[in-house]
Structure 1
Amino acid sequence: MYDPVDAAFAAAPREEFLPRDQRERASYDGPLDIGHGQTNSQPRTVAAMLRLLEVQPGDRVLDVGSGSGWATALLAHLTGPAGYVIGVEIKPDLVAFGAANLARVGPTWAYIVAARPGVLGLPDHAPFDRILVSAQARRLPEALVAQLGAGGRMVLPVDGTMLLVEQQEGEPRDVPRVTRHGSYRFVPLL
């Protein structure tokens, strides 16, 4: 049976998004150092997050903590050319690294921008259909919940637990549905 997440993994191999000294470890199912205190997440974890996110062709997606650009590229394969993905990263060297990786091997409907100081996400580009956060928050970030459109989904680790946040259509925007999906460790959301 066709699995869009497996197809995205095949289209955007992890090794293409790792520093040269880490590429031989691309098949390792664990986080890998990409410098600047950040990691390229464990493939099994990334796959679980993408399956929870349920990206659809044509979706507008925000990738918070884009790092190497790997998840950004995976998300772009899931949206297809009718959608788009914006990665946002706070570390300037990683913005350059991730953007270069995407330019070399990623789809043209995905790109990475530098985070604005003191601003979480990209509120000027909201609403988003999907938001993926690859860094651990201490509590559910209301600033990102506010960037979800009606029917939107956000997946993020909060205080060691993976959360799925669903913005129900027709419901008040301040009452999203939140479910828990296991324990995970991530670098902190800055």
Structure 2
Amino acid sequence: MFKSEADLITSSLLNVNKDYYTCYKNGLPVRQISAPEIIEQMLRMLHPYSGNFILEIGTGSGYSTAILADIVGERGAIVSVDIDGIMVERANLLLQQDGYTNVRVVVGDGRDGQLDKAPYDRIIAWASAENEVPFPLVEQLANNGILVCPLRKEDSSWVASFRKNEKGDLEEIEKISGGFIPMTDAPWYPWLDDE
């Protein structure tokens, strides 16, 4: 039976075991995870469908990666990029053990995207870009594709969704408030600054 986009997101949120991805074996929480409410809100802004080819920036715990993989199903695929090699290794292992065969997780600077697999139907980032969406991500999005990206400028931060028009330009669809750690060229652990 055909599921609506909203039903796909809802069922995938139920299908994926959050604790499996967001907790270490000793029970301590993984720090590289966005709040479940913002994950759901941003996924709804992304409008993913079964069969989509999606680029994810910021694999983190792998939880959102698993949700996306569940949504797109066997006909779709997820390419996820994270700057932290330790988290990439952990996420790859968990996703394989959880049975996902439609996911490729790689180490890289998310601002560069993953050109060799472009274009993507959807792109979502879980780290913020300064002032505007990095140009490589715009280039790697298919025409009529949707991109969701946290942005920051001076003292303000927000999450915006965009559709790429036929001219190759991004047109903003929606904006919500929200702050994320920045996209960086090296792993950054802001919680260590607080300790």
TM range (shorter): 0.7 to 0.9
- Describe the SS at the equivalent of 1:77: helix
What is the match of residue 9 of structure 2?
Answer: 5
Cα separation, 2, equivalents of 1:186 and 1:145? 20
Q: CA deviation at 1:23?
A: 4.7
Identity %: 27
Structure 2: gaps spanning 5 or more residues: 185-195
One-letter amino acid matched to 2:128: Q
Deviation of 1:51 after TM superposition, in Å, equals: 0.5
Residue in 2 that maps onto 1:126: 118
TM-score of the pair, normalised by structure 1: 0.85
Of residues 176, 179, 184, the one that matches 1:185 is: 179
Shift of 1:180: 3.9
Q: Is the 8 A contact 1:73 1:106 kept in 2?
A: no
Separation (CA, whole Å) in 2 of partners of 1:17 and 1:131: 21
Work out whether residues 16 and 105 of structure 1, in 8 Å CA contact, stay in contact via their aligned partners in 2: no
The aligned runs of 1:130-149 (5 Å cut-off) are: 130-139=122-131, 140-149=133-142
Moved over 3 A (4+): 21-24
State the Cα deviation string for residues 18-48 of structure 1 (Å, max 9, x = none). 2326857xxxxxxx643xxxx2110000000
How many residues align? The count is: 175
* 2:107 pairs with 1:114: yes
Query: Structure 1: which 5+ residue stretches go unaligned?
Result: 25-31
> Structure 1 residues 22, 180: closer, same or farther in 2, change over 3 A?
farther
Distance of 1:42 and 1:102 partners within structure 2: 20
Contact 2:159 2:177 in 1 (8 A): yes
CA shift for structure 1 position 143:
1.3
Establish whether residue 95 from structure 1 lines up as the match of residue 92 from structure 2.
Answer: no
Contact kept? 2:82, 2:110, Cα under 8 Å:
no
Looking at structure 2, the residues matched to 8 and 149 of structure 1 have their Cα atoms a distance apart, in angstroms, of 24
> Residues 22 and 145 from structure 1, CA distance in 2 versus in 1: closer, same or farther, beyond 3 angstroms?
farther
Describe how 1:1-190 pairs up with structure 2 within 5 A: 3-20=7-24, 23=27, 33-34=30-31, 39-115=32-108, 120-139=112-131, 140-159=133-152, 160-168=157-165, 171-173=166-168, 175-190=169-184
The normalised TM-score by structure 2 is: 0.83
